[in-house]
Amino acid sequence: MVSLPASLCAQLRQCLQHLLQDQNTYAKEWLHFQGLMAKILEVVPWAPLHLGPVVHHILFHWTLASDNYEASLPVFTPICQNLIWWLHPPSLNRGFPLQSLTSLVLTTNASSLGWRAVLGDLSPQGFWSVKEASMSSNRLELRGVWNALQVFAFPLLDHLVVVRVDNRVVMSYINQQFVIGSFSLNLIVRRIVSLAQFHLLRLQAIHIQGVLNHQADLLS
């Protein structure tokens, strides 16, 4: 099992406690926290989900071009919630196993009509409401993944899950867990990864060509 060294965990907790307790936080302190995070993203499962909003917070309230590292940054409740996650021992100590894990492959697809998913011999599907059908293709594809994870919650429990999608944007958003980009897509991705965090060992998305996605594509 690959996990964080105790010294790095101690550094991280000290930095977090300062950000959460001090009434005056500065850009340099947030950047120090971001630097610590960069060292552990590959070791701590679900880390990007809780780091992404913090990075967005920094970029929204401070710009590198200002060159003012003493600039004061506010600490809002939603950001505190993401910071507090890092103080929970299970969050940092979970780590990744060194041995190869057997994965379950979930294939999903969506069209303007509805969504479909395939897991082994199971293939549930559903249709969009009028409101949902007017959404962008990226949002529909992500909603398809969300629906599939809910339907297959029990058989996927505590497994490494590989989701096959024929949309590269969706693949990128799921794998990065938070992307500085579309607010509406990030909302759906946050729901997906939050669900995965509590029920799956790990979630990974891979891209397949649309012509190869014939099983899940029958609906459209």
Stated as kind and residue range, the H or E segment containing 82 is helix 77-85
Kindly report the backbone phi and psi dihedral angles of residue 104, in degrees, each rounded to the nearest multiple of 5, phi listed first.
-100, 130
Q: What is the pLDDT at residue 208?
A: 92
- Does 87 have pLDDT greater than 90? no
The pLDDT assigned to 98 comes to 57
Residue 106 region, left (φ>0) first, then alpha (ψ -120 to 50), else beta?
Answer: beta
Terminal C-alpha separation, the chain:
43
**Mean pLDDT of the residues in the chain:** 87
**Selected residue with higher pLDDT from 172 and 73:** 172
Q: Which single residue is written with the structure tokens 């071009």?
A: 65
pTM: 0.84
- Which one-letter DSSP state was computed for residue 35? H
Tens-digit pLDDT profile for residues 117-137: 999 999 999 999 999 999 999
